[in-house]
Structure 1
Amino acid sequence: MTSVESGRTKIIESVRAVPAVSGFFFDDQRAIKAGAEQDGFAYRGDPVTPGFDRVRQAGEAVSVLLELSDGTVARGDCAAVQYSGAGGRDSLFRAEEFAPVVEGTVADALVGRSAERFRDNTDVLEGLTTDGERLHTALRYGVSQALLDAAASARRGTKTDVLADAYGTVPATDPVPVFGQSGDDRRGNAEKMLLKGVPVLPHGLFNSVEKVGSDGGRLVAYLDWLSKRAVELGPEGYTPRFHVDVYGVLGEVFGPPYDRAEFTDYFADLREAAAPFPLQVEGPMDEGGREEQIYAMVELRDGLADAGVGVDIVADEWCNTFADVRAFVDTGAADLVQIKTPDLGGIGRSAEAVLYCDGTDTRAYLGGTCNETVTSARACAHVALATDAAQTLAKPGMGFDEGYMVMENEMRRAISRLESRTTVRENERRRQEQR
C-alpha cells in the first residue's frame, strides 16, 4: 500500500464536529435496577445516575469529519453505551457539550498531520486532555474511527489493512461470528436470528428480576423455548451458540457466595434448558467494583468447574478499559471478556484488548452497544476481522436485522477486497514466472 496520492501525502486540513443521533437510547441502569416501572417504551420514575434527565432518553452522537488535502472527507462517530455512567464508565455523553472539544482541542492537535500515520495520530489523540482530564471515551472513539478512515483512504486500502499493519496481525479469512441482540422482543427477534442462521444469539436483555423471574425460572423457560425453536427454524446443520446477558440480576436473585450448590445447580438447569447448544451467560452479578466483581466471577467459575457445569461466563460489568480487560484475563475471571468498544476510547485500544486475549484461556468478544451508529459499527467490523475476534456484536439499534446486516456485509466486502488483491498479486507472480 502507498500513502502517495498524485505524488503528495494526504494531510489533515480541517476537523469538524456535527451533533448527530445514535442508534438507540441512553438508559439509567441504576434506576431500572432499583425498580423504575416500564411505561410503554419509556420508564416511570426519577433518574438516579448523574446527568440523566429521564430514566430513558434519546441517544446522542457527534459525527467527526476530517477533510484531507485532496478533498477526501474521512468520518467517524463519537458514541457512548446505552448504560452510560454505570459500572465505572464515563459520564453521560452530550453532543452539545462535547462537539466544541472536537473542533477545538482535537483539531488543534491533528490539523497538519499526515493522514497515513494511524498509530501516531491515535497516540496523539489518547494523550489529549481538557481541564486536566483525558478526553471522554466517546470522543476518543469517534475521532479514532475518522483517523482510521483517513489512513485507509491515504493508503488506498481497507481499514482492515491499516489495523493489520498497525498491530502485526493476519486478518480473518471468513466473517467473524456475529452476535445478534434481541432487545425486549426476545421471541420475535430470536426467531428472525434463527431463520437467518445467526451464529451467536439472542442477548435477551434480561435486565431486571421481573424478566429473569424471582427464582430465575423465566430465564430457564426462555432457553428451553429457544433451543426447541432453533431445531425447528434453523437451517440444516445449524449449531448456534446461545448467549444471554443478565446485567448482574442473578446476583440479586441468589446472592453470594457464588460457588454454593444452589447457584451451580441453577446454572446446570440453564445448561440443560439450552441443550444441545452451548451456553454463555454475560454479567451474572454486579458487585459494585472491579476487584469485587473479579473475585465473585472467579468464585462462580471455580464452582461451575467443580460441579462439572459447562456454561461459559462473560465479563461485562466493571470490564470497561484496557486495564480492566487485562485484569479479568490475568485472573481467569471469565471465559469471554466483552470488549465494549466505546468504553475503551480509541478504536485501536479495542484491537489491543482483543489481541491481549491471544494465548490465554479467555476469548475476546468485540462488543459495543445498540446505541452506536452505522459509521462506528462498520469501523468495528474491521477491528473484528483484523484481530480475528471470537465474536462481534450486531449493531447499532435493537431491531436486530439492521445491525446484523451492517456488520456481516461490511466484513464480507472487506474479505472480498482482500481476496481480490491476493488474486491479482498471484496472477502477476505467475505472469512473471512465465516470461
Structure 2
Amino acid sequence: MATSVTVRDVILAPGNGSFFYDDQAAIRAGVATDGFRYAGAPLTPGFQSIRIPARSLSIGLVLSDGMIVWGDMMGVQYSGAGGRDPLFMMDAIESLTRSVAIPRLKSTDISNFQAACSHVLAHHEGSRLPLAVEYGVSQALLAAAAHVACTTLTEVVCSEFSLSLPEKRVPLYAQSGDAREINVDKMILKAVDILPHGLINSREKFGPSGETFRAFVKWVAKRVSDIGGPGYHPTLHFDVYGWIGLEIGMDANTIADFICAVGDDVPDYRLHIESPADFGSTNAQLDEYAKIVNLLDERGSNARIVVDEQCNTLDDIKLFAEMKAAHIVQVKMPDVGSVADTIRGVLACKQSGVGAYVGGSCSETDLSARVSAQIAIATQADMVLAKPGMGVDEGISIVGNEQNRVLAVLNYRRSQRALSNGEANLT
C-alpha cells in the first residue's frame, strides 16, 4: 500500500564504536604491547597509531509524520586488511553523506526497503559509496520501512524477501577479546551456543607449530566440561587470523593436517576454524579454501572452515558459497555494505547449502547490533555474532534480547490472529 510518509530532513550525530580500530598488519608483524596500547609505528594506510578509538556517524531520517529513524555508519576493527575498505574517516564520510546520500534520501519512496536502497545507494561517479555509508543509510531505510508498515524490521525483511516469519532464535556466538579465560567462563556460565572466538591474532597466541593454540582449545573444552551446566554442549569456534598458514605453511594439505589434529584434540565437539590462512586475494582464497574444505570432508573431520578475509562483498559471498570454499561464510555486515546485501548473502549461502554466519565487528554500535539480530532471525541464519564490544556480557544482552523481543512480538501477533479467527468462527 502506498504511503505519503517521506523524508523531510536528515540529521547527523557523531558517535563512538564499541571498541577500537586496529592496524592488523602492524600487530601481525609482532609489535610489543604497552598496557592496552600497541608500541611502534603503524603499517596500514590511514592509521596514525596502531590502535585508535573506533568512531561512528549516526544518520537520522526526519520523516514527514515527525518520526525520526536512525542508522549507524562505522568501520570494522581491522579496517584496510583482507581486502576491506580503508579506515573510517569521520570528516570524509560526513562530507560524502551530505553531498550524495542526503539529496537522494529526500527524493525516495521509503515504503519499499529494497527499492529505496537501490535508489539511495546507487553508484556515485562510477564507484560504490563507502561501505560505511551503505551500512548506516540502509539501516535507517529499513527502520523507515518498518515505521511506515507499523511492524518490526524482521517483518519487513520477511515480507520483501518472501520469507516465512521466524519461530526460533538463531544460535549466538560470543567473542572473548584478550581477556580470554575470564570471558570464556562468562560464556559458559551464560550457556552461549558458540564460543569463544579467542582472538588468536599473534604468533605469541598461536605458538610455535600452533602448540599454544592447541593447548587453549583443549582448555576451553575442559572448562566447558568443568563448569558448564547439565546438557550444555556448545560449538567451539576459534578465529586464528591466518596464523595456521603463517606459522605452519600455506599448503592446503598441511593446513588440513593441522586442523584435523586440532579436531582430534576435542573429538566430542563441533569445531569451527575461522580464517586458517589468508592467501592474499579473493581468487586465491577461493581455490585454496575449496581444497581445504574438500580435504576435511574426505577425512570425516569434526572441524569446519569459516571464511572471513577476502570474502567481503555480496559477489564474494556468492562465489564462496557456490564453490563450497567454506563450510560457513561470515557475512560481515559492515564489509558487505547495505544490509539488503547481507540479507541476500545469507539467502545465497542457504541456497548453496553452505552455513551462513551473520557477523560483524566489535567496533560496531548498539544500534547496528540490534539490526543484525533482526536480520539474522528473519533469514534464519546459522549463527549470529554477539556484538558490539569485547566485554561479552553486553553483546550477549543486546543481540540475544533483541531476538527474544522480536519472537515475543511475532508470537503475540500469532495469538491475536488466532483469537480473532476463533471469534469470527463463533459468529
TM-score by length of 1: 0.95
1:304 aligns with 2:299: no
Give the structure 1 partner of residue 307 of structure 2.
315
Q: How many angstroms does 1:45 deviate by?
A: 1.3
Distance in structure 1 (CA, Å) of the matches to 2:233 and 2:7: 47
Structure 2 SS opposite 1:124? helix
1:119 CA displacement: 1.2
Structure 2: stretches of 5+ with no match in the other structure: none
SS at match of 2:352: coil
Does the 8 Å contact 2:290/2:324 carry over to 1?
yes
Report the counterpart of residue 253 of structure 1 in structure 2: 247
SS at match of 1:358: helix
Give 1:134's match in structure 2, choosing from 128, 139, 142: 128
Which of 32, 37, 49 is 2:32 aligned to? 37
Q: 1:3 deviation in Å? A: 6.6
Q: Quote the residue 1:356 is aligned against.
A: 348
- Residue equivalent to 1:164: 158
Aligned to 1:369: 361
Q: Using the alignment, how far apart are the partners of 1:276 and 1:229 within structure 2? A: 14
- Aligned Cα RMSD in Å? 1.4
Q: Which residue of 210, 227, 234 maps to 1:233?
A: 227
Tell me the residue number matched to 1:186: 180
Distance (whole Å) between structure 2 residues aligned to residue 196 and residue 403 of structure 1: 12
CA contact (8 A) 1:3 1:156 kept: no
Identity among equivalent positions (%) equals 38
Cα deviation 1:67-126 (Å, max 9, x = unaligned): 001110000000111011111111111112211222231110011433322111101122
Partner of 2:88: 93
> With structure 2 as the length reference, what TM-score do the two structures score?
0.97
Letter in 2 for 1:294: L
Question: Which secondary structure does the structure 1 equivalent of 2:21 belong to?
Answer: strand
Q: Which of 185, 196, 203 matches 2:197?
A: 203
Q: What is the CA-CA distance between 1:44 and the residue it aligns to? A: 1.1
Question: What CA distance in whole angstroms lies between the structure 1 residues aligned with 2:142 and 2:288?
Answer: 38
Secondary structure at the aligned position of 1:256 is classed as: coil
**Corresponding residue for 1:422?**
414
Q: Distance in 1 between matches of 2:299 and 2:142?
A: 46
Shift of 1:309: 2.3
**Equivalent residue runs for 1:108-127 within 5 Å:** 108-127=103-122
Q: List 4+ stretches of structure 1 deviating above 4 A.
A: none
Query: What's the offset of the Cα at 1:176?
Result: 0.6
2:379 is equivalent to residue 387 of structure 1: yes
Conserved? CA contact 2:246–2:277, under 8 Å: yes
Distance of 2:193 and 2:426 partners within structure 1: 44
Q: Distance in 1 between matches of 2:284 and 2:411?
A: 46
Output one character per residue of 1:308-349: Cα deviation in whole Å (capped at 9) or x when no partner: 322100011100000110111111110000000001111110
The residue type equivalent to 2:109 in the other structure is S
Alignment size in residue pairs: 427
Matched, 1:271 2:266: no
Q: Secondary structure at 1:252's aligned position in 2?
A: helix
Deviations 1:212-235 (A, max 9, x none): 111101111111111111112222
Preserved contact between residue 205 and residue 212 of structure 2 (Cα < 8 Å): yes
